[in-house]
Structure 1
Amino acid sequence: MLVLLAAAAPVRIYGIPMLGSIAVLDVMLLLAGLVLYIETASRRTVDIGYMPVFQLLCIPLLVTVLSATWSQDLARTGKAVLINIEGIIVYLYMIRCTNRLPVARVLRLMRWYLVFLLVPVVLLLLKVPGFAPQEPGLSQSSGDYISYYTRLSHPFLGRSNNLATALAALVIPLLWCGTRYRDRRSTRVGALGLAAIILTFSRGVLLALLITAAAAILTRPMPQYGRPGRSARVGGAVFAAVSLLLVAAALLYELNPDTRLFLGDRTSTVNVAERGSRFELAYHYIIERPLLGYGAGAIPGSNQQIASGVHNTYLQQFLAFGLPLGLLVIGSMVGLARFFFVTDPPSPVRRMVGFTLLAQLLIFVTESSFEGTVLRVLFYLSLGLAVGLVRAVEAQAPSRAEAAVSAKVGTVRTVFHERATAIGKGGAGDG
């Protein structure tokens, strides 16, 4: 819970000798790594969840370390290596914490994590001291500072897009499990997270979720017989959720003057044009160094216009690693989603995690969130929780062979009961 709390509110402590600053999350992950090391040394083994998933997660780390040999900024590349290591640590630690937990307890961890993410947001809007935007060098009179208050943003993670990206990794599992297991708590918290995403007005995240929802509906298995009322229940829940979101958006617009004042920028094309110019610069620098790139975290040509990224994770990989290794890293991301989709026999819970990762892949088209100092760690953390949920569901459900035997035993018992009843009635009539 402390790791989840530190991840949801990664407060930075400044004035640290040599380092300058350090986040509370960094300290917690250092302790988590120490715990994993001690347990691995004593047991001579470590739980990595699913081997293919762990191998795919290690590819970005290995390529980042390799890029240090040609990087134009070794300090930034070294920082990128540390971020990748922290991501691996938090993934393994979530696997450790969810090992052998029942589904209900894994869902409880996910619910608390989502709530932890939203608490600083509320305190930011209430302008509580200590929860003002923590972006370095940000003037309180600037439009960027005011934008934190026009739509839901996070004081420590950054503006609305970053918050929406972190929430999107939790909303789909909670809503799916809430519907499947009739878990009202998960449904309510998942709906709360979805409402928060709507109120961020993050166009890229909202579009990614809509595309993912459409893909899930169009590819869903045929409904089973004997459950005619489920479609009506799901339809009613969707209608209620959409109504709630519209009401929440209207209330934010009416009650928050900053939102009314600055919401017009969401419908303008200025932001789109600015991103287009970043894409053009990215293509220019990729053509200059197509084989090796500029190194992980390095700013191509020291161009400050793209110092904060090009708002596209895939172009960012090509800039850092060149086309061959960039494709390798992108392939590892796609491979994560493919692992959960390609299962035999088909697994509903794995399919759900696959769609969760698909949503993240679509978000990466409009965001460089995978390159963020904290957001990459949160991606690994959410994936560790998702893997823990899959393992809990599969451990709780009977195996395929056991299910087949149970079905046969149930059939035999039913036939025996019917025949015994018929014989009993016949005997009573003769008497």
Structure 2
Amino acid sequence: MTTARAPARRGTGAAPGTRPRVLLTLVLIAAAMPMRVASSVPWINSVSVLDILLGVVAITLFVDLAFGPLDVGYPKLFALLCIPAVVCGMSMLWTQDPGATFRATIVYAEGIVAYLFVVRELNGASPGRVMTYIRRYSLLLVVPAVLLLLRVPGFGPEETGLPPDSDRYLSYYTRLSHPALGPSNNLATVLAFFVPLLLYWGHVRHDRRFTLAGCVTLAAVVCTLSRGVLLGLLTAAVLAGLGSLLRRQHAGSRPAGKIVAAVVSAVVAVALLYRLVPDTLLASRFSLANVFIRSQFAVEAVEEIAERPVLGYGGGAAPEGMWFLARVHNTYLQQMLYFGVPLGLFVSSVLIGTAVFFFSRWRTSAVARVVGFTLIAQLFVFAVESSFEGTVLRVLFYLSIGLATALVRGSEETPAAPPHRGRI
């Protein structure tokens, strides 16, 4: 059963699928480069261009309520996305750090606004149009990272207080990172959401523009040298391949050429990175030292969870004197640290439920299955990275879910178009 389209907003003369989406374009540009405009705002800390635009967006969503209910995409999915925000807000009742919990709740609210906005703006858009926005957004994310690596003025790390000779500062220039999003793992997590979608779309539509964008995005992820993200994508790819074998797809539908192109892109990307940055810390990525450090974080997190197993320390809060446990590098342990074991497991199951939701729609939309495997990759990353706890990254995750929702809904409402051969 498909979700009915919401009526077009009043005052728009164009059809829903063809009207200009200027505000959406501005939000995607800001999401690709969320530059900070203030760094000492009470209770909030820093404010970025993206925060300001989402504030404007929130006002437009509120105005829309005067004309009818908000378009939430799929009500079940929207309910899943709201649960972590509600639990985080509830933890204000017992948090050990009200400021941190308040900020975490605001970040969740921004994520929900981003999701609702994208779903509203792309209501009625064709799947191809949605994929065009995804293609442009993924490439926009890569551009600042490349400019940072090339040391172009104005694209240095926004992270303040880093000594130029520190390992963290040098990591920005030894593997692909992002000036506003932060070190390489952050950029890799955001980009990984779009790699499967772009490669899939380029394959099924025989459109080289999307295949090329997918290869560029994959190459960028490889250049981040993020082991967790690469393993997440590999895990999702293996599961998708096994699923295809079980469904006995015809040999002619196997994207052998696309797989070769993707592998070649990854190899060329690493070679180019090593050529441009001779001191790339490639060998260090095979070291287990960082794995050992993160395992120590996990052990200490379990010990602190045992101290407050019922309610935890509050959303965004860390045990007193243990600020480093605000980033355990395991989202599922992090939720139990924040909210206690019962609510922590509940929030973790909700995150897993987003992937289950899209898999449940594979009979009405083939691309929904791809989104499901994309989310599997994200869930794997959440187990080894602190991506979901990042303030901007959480908002971008919700925004990405909004793009995926618009894509799946559009594919359910639009008859499948015959394959066409695109040009670069």
Q: Which residue of 2 aligns with 1:33?
A: 58
> Do the aligned partners of 2:189 and 2:381 also contact (CA within 8 Å) in 1?
yes
> Do the aligned partners of 1:161 and 1:200 also contact (CA within 8 Å) in 2?
yes
Q: Which residue of 1 aligns with 2:80?
A: 56
One of 345, 368, 381 as aligned partner of 2:386: 368
Q: Which residue of 2 aligns with 1:243?
A: 264
Give deviations 1:99-151, integer Å, cap 9, x for gaps. 00012211110011101101110110121222111113211121110011111
Percent sequence identity over aligned pairs: 50
Say whether 1:321 aligns with 2:321.
no
Q: Which residue of 2 aligns with 1:383?
A: 401
User: What secondary structure, in the 3-state scheme, does the structure 1 residue paired with 2:180 have?
Assistant: coil
> Do the aligned partners of 1:282 and 1:319 also contact (CA within 8 Å) in 2?
yes
Q: Which residue of 1 aligns with 2:37?
A: 13
Q: Which residue of 1 aligns with 2:169?
A: 145
Within 5 Å, give how 1:196-235 maps onto structure 2.
196-220=220-244, 222-223=247-248, 229-231=252-254, 234-235=255-256
One of 29, 45, 48 as aligned partner of 1:23: 48
Moved more, 81-90 or 169-178: 169-178
User: What secondary structure, in the 3-state scheme, does the structure 1 residue paired with 2:37 have?
Assistant: strand
User: What secondary structure, in the 3-state scheme, does the structure 2 residue paired with 1:386 have?
Assistant: helix
- Tell me which amino acid in the other structure corresponds to 2:157: P
One of 131, 152, 156 as aligned partner of 2:180: 156
> Do the aligned partners of 2:362 and 2:369 also contact (CA within 8 Å) in 1?
no
Question: Once superposed, which parts of structure 1, at least 4 consecutive aligned residues long, lie more than 3 Å away?
Answer: 15-21, 221-225, 343-347
Distance (Å, rounded) in 1 between the aligned partners of 2:213 and 2:248: 26
Distance (Å, rounded) in 2 between the aligned partners of 1:248 and 1:113: 20
Larger radius of gyration: 1
Say whether 1:117 aligns with 2:141.
yes
Distance (Å, rounded) in 2 between the aligned partners of 1:101 and 1:12: 31
- Tell me which amino acid in the other structure corresponds to 2:294: R
Distance (Å, rounded) in 1 between the aligned partners of 2:206 and 2:385: 34
Q: Give the unaligned 5+ runs of structure 2.
A: 1-24, 417-424
- Tell me which amino acid in the other structure corresponds to 1:106: V
> Do the aligned partners of 2:211 and 2:258 also contact (CA within 8 Å) in 1?
no
Give deviations 1:139-193, integer Å, cap 9, x for gaps. 1121110011111001110111100000011111111111111121111111110
One of 209, 215, 218 as aligned partner of 1:185: 209
Distance (Å, rounded) in 2 between the aligned partners of 1:242 and 1:15: 41
One of 54, 66, 69 as aligned partner of 2:90: 66
Distance (Å, rounded) in 1 between the aligned partners of 2:385 and 2:340: 19
User: What secondary structure, in the 3-state scheme, does the structure 2 residue paired with 1:22 have?
Assistant: strand
One of 104, 126, 137 as aligned partner of 1:102: 126
User: What secondary structure, in the 3-state scheme, does the structure 2 residue paired with 1:13 have?
Assistant: strand
> Do the aligned partners of 2:157 and 2:172 also contact (CA within 8 Å) in 1?
yes
Distance (Å, rounded) in 2 between the aligned partners of 1:187 and 1:33: 35
Within 5 Å, give how 1:250-289 maps onto structure 2.
250-259=271-280, 262-289=281-308
- Tell me which amino acid in the other structure corresponds to 2:261: A
RMSD between superposed Cα atoms in Å: 1.6
Distance (Å, rounded) in 2 between the aligned partners of 1:312 and 1:364: 6
Q: What TM-score, normalized to structure 2?
A: 0.89
Distance (Å, rounded) in 2 between the aligned partners of 1:384 and 1:162: 19
Distance (Å, rounded) in 2 between the aligned partners of 1:15 and 1:162: 20
> Do the aligned partners of 1:12 and 1:24 also contact (CA within 8 Å) in 2?
yes
User: CA 1:145 to 1:397, structure 2 compared with 1: closer, same or farther past 3 Å?
Assistant: same
Distance (Å, rounded) in 2 between the aligned partners of 1:17 and 1:344: 45
User: CA 1:276 to 1:389, structure 2 compared with 1: closer, same or farther past 3 Å?
Assistant: same
> Do the aligned partners of 2:203 and 2:258 also contact (CA within 8 Å) in 1?
no
Distance (Å, rounded) in 1 between the aligned partners of 2:136 and 2:177: 19
Distance (Å, rounded) in 1 between the aligned partners of 2:293 and 2:249: 49
Instruction: Please report how far the alpha carbon of residue 223 of structure 1 lies from its aligned counterpart in structure 2 after TM superposition.
Output: 4.6
Distance (Å, rounded) in 1 between the aligned partners of 2:319 and 2:296: 15
Q: Which residue of 1 aligns with 2:22?
A: none
Distance (Å, rounded) in 2 between the aligned partners of 1:24 and 1:171: 26
User: CA 1:129 to 1:331, structure 2 compared with 1: closer, same or farther past 3 Å?
Assistant: same
Moved more, 215-224 or 383-392: 215-224
User: CA 1:202 to 1:61, structure 2 compared with 1: closer, same or farther past 3 Å?
Assistant: same
Instruction: Please report how far the alpha carbon of residue 20 of structure 1 lies from its aligned counterpart in structure 2 after TM superposition.
Output: 5.4
Q: Give the unaligned 5+ runs of structure 1.
A: 399-431
> Do the aligned partners of 1:285 and 1:319 also contact (CA within 8 Å) in 2?
yes
> Do the aligned partners of 2:215 and 2:261 also contact (CA within 8 Å) in 1?
no
Distance (Å, rounded) in 2 between the aligned partners of 1:102 and 1:343: 18
Q: Which residue of 1 aligns with 2:311?
A: 292
Say whether 1:353 aligns with 2:371.
yes
- Tell me which amino acid in the other structure corresponds to 1:203: R
> Do the aligned partners of 1:149 and 1:258 also contact (CA within 8 Å) in 2?
no
- Tell me which amino acid in the other structure corresponds to 1:273: F
Q: What TM-score, normalized to structure 1?
A: 0.87
Distance (Å, rounded) in 2 between the aligned partners of 1:114 and 1:397: 26
> Do the aligned partners of 2:191 and 2:221 also contact (CA within 8 Å) in 1?
yes
Q: Which residue of 1 aligns with 2:153?
A: 129
